[in-house]
Amino acid sequence: MNVIGLGLESSCDETAASVVKNGSEILSNIIFSQVSLHREYSGVVPEIASRAHLEVINGLIDTALAKAGVSFNDLNYIAATNRPGLVGSLLVGLQTAKAISFALDIPLIAVNHLEAHLYAAFLEGRQELRFPYIGLLASGGNTAVYEVKGIGDMECIGKTIDDAVGEAFDKVAKYLGLEYPGGPVIEKLALDAVKKEMLFPKILTAGGDTRFSYSGIKTAVVNYINANPSADKAEIVYAFQERALELLVRRVFAFARKRGIKRIVAAGGVAANGRLRALLSAAAAGEEIIAPPPALCADNGAMISGLAFHYYMRKEFDDLSVDVRSRVLERR
């Protein structure tokens, strides 16, 4: 028997709805990006985000069902991100899911956005879902590494003490007058660097340190720009990107080797970065590197619906009292 689920995602500035079959096959994956609404502010404005989610979510659901060739009555479950994220934004997706669950009398599954990002690597049967693995989550709001031991069972083994890595990409881009979001723009511009000098110091080099930090390098970049106003932008972003990514790579392999785990999954918006993927592959010595295709690194509903399938099979449902949470506890 096939299990069909609808997944909703509205934790930040993408509104998304996706129909997934049996936790893996994507029948539709509709994403409305709000980037153009937030561009003039160089970052996400929470009030604008939640209003925009509200305006488009019903239409997105209709489109996702139509594209998948299914109707509401074909759905076995409804899933939505309920943590972590912007509270007003999360509410739109979760309340919509509650209404659908109530009206159709189908199970509601509230999903951890971070666990779903990592699960994206296993959609479309690209990889067999096996545990444990070391999961690197690098996005605009989060930078953390987990030992993922099973569905709903992930231990955080290192995280940022200040900014997320994607946030640092966005802020460095802003200081240089580049477009928002900064990640893809910086990746492209860095390819034009002629002089490839390490203009900024390595981050958190003490042995045994498990933390990440991105506010220091951000300040170093700003100070450098102020002291060298005519410096080449491509060379600045090259140097920034190398240091920012180097820390991710260094930490991931240190954790993997310490724990004797040979599978590494990299996910989240920053995992779309080709230089990060190349650095991870180059540093591997027997470790398997797994990452979703770049399109599934960004926020999407398929990862929500796909992960929720496993909770559905385990009959781990949520009731209508489930709420949103801006932060996430490490265990479900």
What residues line the site for ligand AMP (CB under 6 A)? 12, 139-141, 166-167, 169-170, 181-184, 187, 268-270, 272-273, 298-299
Cβ proximity of 298 and 9 under 8 Å: no
Q: How many CA atoms lie within 13 A of 36 on its CB side?
A: 2
Residues that contact Mg ion, how many (by CB under 5 A) = 2
The arrangement of strands across the sheet holding 143-150 comes to 153-159, 143-150, 133-138, 263-267, 288-290
Tell me the closest approach of the beta carbon of residue 158 to ligand AMP, in angstroms: 18
Choose among ligand AMP, Mg ion, none what residue 306 binds, the Cβ cut-off being 5 to 8 Å by kind: none
H/E stretch holding 152 reads none
* Nearest distance in Å: CB 184, ligand AMP: 4
Residue pair 218/171 in contact (Cβ under 8 Å)? The answer is yes
- Closest distance of CB 272 from ligand AMP, Å: 4
Strands 133-138 and 143-150: antiparallel
Nearest distance from residue 166's CB to ligand AMP, in Å? 3
By beta-carbon proximity to ligand AMP, the closer residue of 68 and 279 is 279
Closest CA to 287 of 268, 251, 267, 260: 260
Q: Which of ligand AMP, Mg ion, none does residue 183 bind (CB under 5 to 8 Å by kind)?
A: ligand AMP
* Least CB distance to ligand AMP at residue 122 (A): 17
The minimum distance between CB 246 and ligand AMP, in angstroms, equals: 14
User: Closer to ligand AMP at the Cβ: 171 or 310?
Assistant: 171
Among 235, 287, 299, 318, binds Mg ion (CB under 5 A): 299
Residue list 122-181, contact with Mg ion (CB under 5 A): 139
- Closest by CA to 162, choosing from 211, 220, 221, is 211
Tokens standing for 276? Answer: 């990060």
- CA 124, distance to chain mean position in Å, is 18
Asked if residue 208 lies in contact with residue 162, where contact means CB atoms within 8 angstroms, the answer is no
Residue 78 φ/ψ, nearest 5 degrees:
-125, 135
Q: Output the smallest distance, CB 125 to Mg ion, in A.
A: 23
Report helix, strand or coil for 167.
Answer: helix
Residue 240 interacts with which of ligand AMP, Mg ion, none, CB < 5 to 8 Å by class:
none
Site string for Mg ion, 86-115 (x = CB under 5 A): ------------------------------
Q: In sequence order, what are the residues at sequence separation of 6 or more whose Cβ sits closer than 8 angstroms to the Cβ of residue 36?
A: none
d(CA 274, CA 253): 18
Give the nearer residue to Mg ion in terms of CB position, either 14 or 235.
Answer: 14
300 binds Mg ion (CB under 5 A): no
Residue 187: contacted member of ligand AMP, Mg ion, none (CB under 5 to 8 Å, by partner type) = ligand AMP
Catalog residues that contact Mg ion under the rule CB under 5 A: 139, 299
